[in-house]
């Protein structure tokens, strides 16, 4: 079954030490070695985000992410594993889980 | 065998084994609803066939086979399920069958079912509802009544939880090694909640609630049987037995709650206490203590004391010191304050309680006025005690508790 792991980080936490690029690369390698990768990418910095809304037929385009919260989506992985516990294990191993959180969602098979 | 005797024997099998039947089917099919439906179908068929054909040598095996055939039939007619049929491998044995086999050689999958129903990915209320519905076999109305929640709410919780199990693919499996140790507290907590719900209600008044404590003990026994090496399971069973042993003495003839101080200890269940005390030894031997083991030890000290003054309060305080490190909570602090008051005198207890009540988390706790009232009464400050008892009666959760607290208020301020 395919799951998406959404790696969610936190803004403005002065005490936090965000995970390093090396940590993420090691994780990516582990996923590949295990043969579970379907897809995955970090996302561009939050400053590169643009939000689109359409209300009453008008398109509104603004700078920045979609919500005024402390959280932002930093990246994603799509993995193919037998069950939720396996997906949760991989989520726990993601360096982002120690800093922010990882959301695990089953991917709906639209076929 | 006569028709009547076979029917009686059949009903006996169903009472004992329905939980095991559903558990085996759920583990094979990965679907609780389907498991329940085909289990009911198989039982219905048995009720028709066995009185005519005679009781099979292995009734549970017969039910499992019949139910699985029914499941395959249903899945064949469901186009969506067709795709999953191959994955389900209904005919094949599971990769890691349950280690504990029943006397009939069939694996005991109830452990699988309990762990699945208590999976951390499910909401806490959902875990409780699922366990009661599918492991304990309570109906949705019974669960609703037990927890004073509207029936549609319970029904919705069950539907959502089962959908999550299906759509997120929560596997039907007992976790292993470190994962088992990690997940066991959630399972024990659910069983504890079932017991607590039955125990804090007025004893003897409502049949459903007495059945709840019995059901919790039954679940704890199943866990003890299937996880004999897990000391906290022994600790939980001990706690439930020792606490439940006092049930008969907890309600007076007038329906009021009887406090520990006034309970007729000859009405305590000596057999349950003996079993509980043995289990406490098991729970606390051979490793670090766990919270249920410690709580059971405290209950054991109460159970073996002749009366309140003769209770080993220093030892109880020492155990609360261990407990507050393992599993801190407002209730633990309050109970410890009472024990300190019994060990060192009510004034010491009151000072401690007042300091605790300064903490935001504890201040609003409904048990604080009652605890305060008891300590004031023991300290001889009867006027203040009367006021505190009246306050406590106002926030009391049940009629019997209110009756007791009002009586105390009247005694303190005649």
Tell me which residue has tokens 């007042």: B354
CB contact under 8 A, B170 and A88: no
CA nearest neighbour of A19 among A97, A88, A78: A97
CB contact under 8 A, A106 and B168: yes
Residue B170 to residue A82, Cβ atoms within 8 A: no
Q: Dump pLDDT digits (tens) for B261-277.
A: 889 999 999 999 999 99
Name the residue with higher pLDDT: B296 or A50: B296
Closest Cβ–Cβ partner in A83, A104, A108 for B171: A83
* Nearest chain A Cα distance for residue B69, angstroms: 25
Q: Residue A3: closest CA among chain B residues belongs to which residue?
A: B168
- Report the residue of A81, A82, A84 to disrupt the B interface, i.e. the one with the largest count of B CBs within 10 Å: A84
Residues of chain A with C-beta less than 8 angstroms from the C-beta of B175: 85
The model carries a pTM of: 0.82
Shortest CA gap A9–chain B (Å): 21
Helix or strand holding residue A75 (H, E)? strand A71-80
Q: Cβ contact (<8 Å) for B121 and A83?
A: no
Q: Which of A16, A66, A26 is nearest to A46 (CA)?
A: A66
CB contact at 8 A, B109 and B27:
yes
Q: Which of B194, B314, B199 is nearest to B246 (CA)?
A: B199
Q: Which of residues 101-160 of B touch A (CB under 8 A)?
A: 121
What backbone phi and psi angles, to 5 degrees, belong to B273? -65, -45
For B57-86, the pLDDT digits (tens) are 888 899 999 999 999 888 877 766 655 554
Report the Cα–Cα distance between both ends of chain B, in Å, rounded.
70
The residue of chain B with its CA nearest to that of A89 is B179
Phi/psi zone of residue A76: left (φ > 0), alpha (ψ -120 to 50 degrees), beta?
A: beta
pLDDT tens for B363-400 read 777 788 889 999 999 999 999 999 999 999 888 777 78
Q: Which DSSP category does B345 fall into?
A: -
Instruction: Tell me which chain A residues have a C-beta less than 8 angstroms from the C-beta of B171.
Output: 82-85
With 70 as the cut, is the pLDDT of residue B16 above it? Answer: no
The answer to whether the beta carbons of residues B201 and B186 sit under 8 Å apart is: no
Give the separation between CA B276 and CA B370, rounded to whole angstroms: 29
Is A106 close to B167, i.e. CB distance below 8 A?
A: yes
pLDDT in tens, A43-84: 988 888 888 889 999 999 988 876 667 788 889 999 999 999
Question: What is the 8-class DSSP label of residue A50?
Answer: E
The string of pLDDT tens digits covering residues B318-333 is 999 999 999 998 889 9
What is the Cα–Cα distance from B23 to B21, expressed in whole angstroms?
A: 5
Whether residue B6 has pLDDT greater than 70: no
From CA B236, how far away is CA B395, in angstroms rounded?
A: 29
Helix count and strand count (H, E) for chain A: 3, 6
Which string of DSSP letters, residue by residue, matches B147-189?
A: HT--HHHHHHHHHHHHHHHHHTT-------THHHHHHHHHHHH
Interface test with B, best of A82, A85, A89 (most B CBs within 10 A): A85
Whether A85 sits inside 8 A of B168 (CB atoms) is no
Could you read off the pLDDT of A83-104 as tens digits, one per residue?
999 999 999 999 999 888 999 9
């Amino acid at each position: 079954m395919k799951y998406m792991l959404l790696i969610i980080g936190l803004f403005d936490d002065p005490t936090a030490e965000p995970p390093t690029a090396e940590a993420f690369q090691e994780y990516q390698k582990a996923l590949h070695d295990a043969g579970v990768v379907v897809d995955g990418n970090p996302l561009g910095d939050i400053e590169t985000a643009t939000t689109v809304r359409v209300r009453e037929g008008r398109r509104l385009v603004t700078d920045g992410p979609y919500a005024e919260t402390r959280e932002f989506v930093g990246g994603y992985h799509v993995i193919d594993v037998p069950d939720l516990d396996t997906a949760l294990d991989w989520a726990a191993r993601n360096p982002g889980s120690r800093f922010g959180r990882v959301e695990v969602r089953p991917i709906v098979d639209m076929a | 065998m006569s028709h009547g005797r076979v029917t009686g024997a059949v009903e006996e099998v169903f009472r004992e084994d329905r939980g095991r039947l559903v558990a085996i089917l759920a583990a094979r099919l990965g679907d609780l609803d389907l498991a329940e439906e085909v289990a009911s179908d198989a039982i219905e068929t048995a009720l028709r066939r066995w009185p005519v054909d005679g009781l099979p040598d292995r009734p549970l095996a017969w039910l499992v086979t019949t139910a699985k055939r029914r499941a395959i039939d249903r899945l064949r007619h469901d186009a969506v399920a067709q795709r999953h049929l191959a994955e389900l491998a209904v005919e094949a044995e599971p990769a890691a069958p349950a280690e504990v086999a029943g006397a009939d050689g069939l694996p005991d999958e109830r452990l699988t079912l309990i762990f699945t129903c208590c999976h951390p990915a499910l909401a806490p209320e959902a875990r409780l509802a699922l366990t009661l519905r599918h492991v304990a076999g309570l109906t949705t109305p019974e669960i609703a009544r037990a927890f004073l929640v509207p029936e549609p709410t319970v029904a919705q919780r069950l539907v959502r939880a089962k959908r999550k199990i299906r759509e997120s693919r929560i596997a039907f499996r007992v976790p292993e090694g470190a994962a088992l140790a990690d997940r066991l507290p959630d399972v024990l907590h659910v069983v504890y909640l079932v017991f607590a719900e039955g125990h804090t209600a007025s004893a003897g008044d409502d049949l459903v609630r007495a059945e709840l404590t019995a059901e919790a003990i039954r679940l704890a026994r199943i866990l003890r049987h299937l996880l004999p090496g897990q000391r906290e399971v022994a600790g939980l069973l001990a706690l439930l037995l020792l606490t439940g042993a006092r049930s008969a003495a907890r309600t007076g003839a007038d329906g009021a709650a009887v406090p520990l101080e006034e309970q007729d200890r000859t009405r305590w269940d000596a057999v349950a206490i003996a079993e509980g005390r043995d289990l406490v030894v098991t729970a606390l031997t051979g490793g670090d203590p766990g919270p249920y083991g410690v709580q059971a030890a405290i209950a054991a000290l109460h159970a073996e004391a002749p009366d309140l003054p003769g209770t080993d309060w220093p030892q109880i305080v020492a155990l609360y010191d261990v407990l507050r490190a393992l599993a801190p909570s407002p209730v633990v602090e309050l109970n410890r304050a009472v024990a300190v008051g019994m060990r060192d005198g009510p004034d010491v207890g009151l000072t401690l309680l007042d300091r605790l009540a300064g903490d935001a988390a504890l201040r609003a706790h409904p048990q604080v006025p009652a605890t305060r009232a008891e300590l004031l009464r023991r300290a001889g400050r009867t006027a203040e005690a009367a006021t505190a008892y009246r306050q406590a009666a106002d926030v009391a959760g049940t009629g019997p508790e209110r009756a007791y607290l009002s009586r105390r208020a009247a005694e303190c301020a005649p």
